[in-house]
Amino acid sequence: MVYQSSRAHVFAEQLADIERKDKIRGSRLHKAMREILASPYGKVEFGKGQYRGKRKYTVGKDRLLFVVCKQCRDLKHQIFNQCSDCDKTKDETVVWAGIIDTHKY
């Protein structure tokens, strides 16, 4: 199954900032994003606390936070994720929610 990619505004700003400061780190994040799009349910845990409802994937010192739309709906996580365009987004969409440094998690 092919998943579409959608970026939250915060995520887009974070990724652009990382790419501007560290091209290698940005490249690693893009590679991880491609891997996740190929298999978004594989060995990925859910976040806790303020990251509840989002999946997390560790890439070096960073953690990618994302939501698989079908799973979010199935598990009733809309209350945590509060995507403004939820009703217009296809089930086969991965929404990139944010990037955090591991030491800040």
Distance CA 55, CA 98 (A): 10
* Number of domains comprising the chain: 1
- Does the predicted TM-score (pTM) go above 0.75? yes
Start-to-end Cα distance in the chain: 31
Provide the pLDDT for residue 104. Answer: 55
| CA distance linking residue 3 with residue 94, whole number of Å | 7
Return the structure tokens found at 98.
């944010």
> What is the per-residue pLDDT for 11?
96
Query: 30: which 2 tokens?
Result: 């893009």
- pLDDT tens string 3-33: 999 999 999 999 999 999 999 999 999 999 9
Whole domain around residue 15: which residue ranges? 4-104
pLDDT above 90: residue 102: no
Least trusted range by pLDDT, from 36-40, 64-68, 85-89: 85-89
CATH of the domain at 68: 3.30.2310.20
The confidence score (pLDDT) of residue 43 equals: 75
